[in-house]
Structure 1
């Protein structure tokens, strides 16, 4: 199929990973990058932030114009919008008028019913989508109530080219890893859990932004790198920790996250917050470990640090589950595209 693929295509982002998966599946892709370097540089500027807050994210790169031109030039099967907050409803209206057979499909790994993930253009454009894929199970009814014709729940996925077991040297383990680690942005509840571990003698190393600026809790057992990791570095860091902690983003009402899949896909041990969706994805105590409280987290960390062989067996079983159950981008996107192809028969 021919697909106009719209979204933030920066290195390390899952949007780019999904686009590459579509290419590997044999589809012809026409990329429209909504966040090239020029946009990323402006995002930190005061004027940009004020404008975004008042009017929503601006279309600095004329993505709307590019989409209209591509629709006119190519008889594409799909216009794929990956959390495309700058795309205007008028653009989608024109696309449907010019090419009635082109299906407009949306996707987002975030909670799109939450205001902090929306824009005015996004909300007004929802009635023009033929289908919207969401990784939030509760998001199906919410998106349809916002005007989407059809919303579909899909699980998170991993990129097999990036999220895979990596042999790390002693030097790399020193550079990236340690006994217990967390990779992700700062949130107060995450800091509270990690601080609890530190108070009880567990050293924790943290990779991610905003920790140095926002975290007020300090302890000799907490090592904050205050730096994001992308691509191969990210996978190497995961493989450098004996235990990878996983926390849900409460502001997004997460029941699973990208890391819920990426950590096991790397063949690494995951200790994640317990949810029904996590228990469906991985068998507890055999393919991953879970916790509900600070006390249980400390208990599980202490236990698994002292049981290396069991920990490694669980990590391998988690990796096997990812392969067996088809959690990769290639497999999940293939099923999504098949759904769109079947849906297109109605138009």
Structure 2
């Protein structure tokens, strides 16, 4: 409760620190005293303050302090007072948000590296599906993700135009409308069920999260990695990740979304071909988490100061 209150106050501009209820700072300092580490990896470390990183540097003078977050760390809703004060003490910060590169640099981080979103190949991979799986999980057009009003608007619009849509995810109890063509499960999918759902939906919708100013998300690579046909919002980064009309499909308006849903629901061969090529692109271009990390570490450990260098989004 205290952490929630402090987080809300911070969002409203009050310079209050986030409570360190798990004693993260003490545990990190204890680990630094016990070993001579080459890398100290901090993942969205909102409770770690600058004094702790000074202590880490004292005990591990050659260690490179690397931060990572898949969220928009220039957004107040993703920050903390400790994070902002500690950011200049990171050696590198890895972000999946391209626009964060200069923003975090302007906040004092000496080296900010952009890495594209990745997927875990042990979780997100093509799986055989049964007729029961198709009934239980799939359908014509599907979306797997958290409720947002704009997403709901588009899904409802498709339903009113005769497209059968099914949604899985959290917070869909907020959905303000109902329609015979719209099935809302209000349950998240994980693991094999997620992978099978991607395979059993004829078309997988991939929406971006506007509050994070997304140009791509983990879904952008997870859906094709599962062998699913992806229809995503058109952005420059999506167009770099996948060739439009060959490895994935994209839309920029609800009218284009509807037209492409209708087209690919009719054209089974094209849909299957594009899904297969999207999967192959994930493997060929190294979109897995391990490949993304390997490329980032190659740059960090193999070169000197980067000064806002980017990892290539899609080799």
Query: TM-score normalized by structure 2?
Result: 0.92
**Higher deviation after alignment, 275-284 or 332-341:** 332-341
Partner of 1:310: 270
Distance verdict in 2 for CA 1:179–1:59, change over 3 Å: same
Q: Distance in 2 between matches of 1:189 and 1:149?
A: 36
Q: Distance in 1 between matches of 2:109 and 2:30?
A: 25
Q: Does 1:113 align with 2:74?
A: yes
Q: Does 1:160 align with 2:115?
A: no
Q: Does 1:95 align with 2:53?
A: no
Q: Distance in 2 between matches of 1:203 and 1:74?
A: 57
Partner of 1:276: 236
Q: Does 1:198 align with 2:159?
A: yes
Q: Distance in 2 between matches of 1:107 and 1:51?
A: 23
**Higher deviation after alignment, 58-67 or 281-290:** 58-67
Conserved 8 A contact 1:271-1:291: yes
**Consecutive unaligned residues in structure 1, runs of 5 or more:** 1-45
Q: Does 1:129 align with 2:90?
A: yes
Distance verdict in 2 for CA 1:100–1:327, change over 3 Å: same
1:311-346 alpha-carbon deviations (Å, 9 max, x no partner) = 000000000111111111111111112222225799
* 1:225 aligns with one of 185, 207, 210: 185
Q: Distance in 2 between matches of 1:75 and 1:232?
A: 39
Conserved 8 A contact 2:111-2:305: no
Q: Distance in 2 between matches of 1:245 and 1:57?
A: 36
Runs of 4+ deviating beyond 4 Å: 343-346
Distance verdict in 2 for CA 1:66–1:47, change over 3 Å: closer
* 2:33 aligns with one of 72, 75, 84: 72
Q: CA deviation at 1:232?
A: 2.2
Q: Does 1:291 align with 2:251?
A: yes
Query: TM-score normalized by structure 1?
Result: 0.83
Equivalent residue pairs, number? 300
Q: Distance in 2 between matches of 1:86 and 1:230?
A: 28
Q: Distance in 1 between matches of 2:31 and 2:165?
A: 49
Root-mean-square deviation over aligned CA pairs: 1.5
Q: SS of the counterpart of 1:310?
A: helix
